[in-house]
Amino acid sequence: MLCPRLSAAASGRLLAMLVPVRKKMKAAAYTAGGVDWEKFFRQYDKSGDGALDLAEFKSAVRRVLKLPPSKLADDDVRLVFETIDADGSGEIQLPEMLEFIDGS
């Protein structure tokens, strides 16, 4: 899942960023009936196209996951986004997000 072009140090830094993002996403997806990933995803898909672009993802990171730039810089948000965007399309689809959450 990690980008092969990253150095070992950068990969370690990326792993350190992914853990809190993954945990906060899991917590944010809980509802009264349990975890609802589809609802979580739709809530942040502001364009309604079934995918999160970088701006939508960044908005969710800042507002929902409560990770300000002091905790996760914009460049780091982009790196996390690119890591989750497994197919490199520039958008995160729900299956890609679920794969990330599962830690696959």
Write out pLDDT tens, residues 6-15. Answer: 556 666 777 7
Global pTM reads 0.81
Short-list 64, 72, 101, CA closest to 84: 101
Write out pLDDT tens, residues 52-61. Answer: 999 999 999 9
Phi, psi at 37, each rounded to 5°:
-70, -35
Q: Provide the percentage of residues in the chain whose pLDDT is more than 90.
A: 34
Query: What is the distance between the alpha carbons of residues 70 and 56, in angstroms, rounded to a whole number?
Result: 19
On whether the CB atoms of residues 90 and 53 are closer than 8 A, the answer is yes
Reduced to 3 states (helix: H, G, I; strand: E, B; else coil), residue 87 is coil
Largest CA distance in the chain: 42
More confident residue, 102 or 89: 89
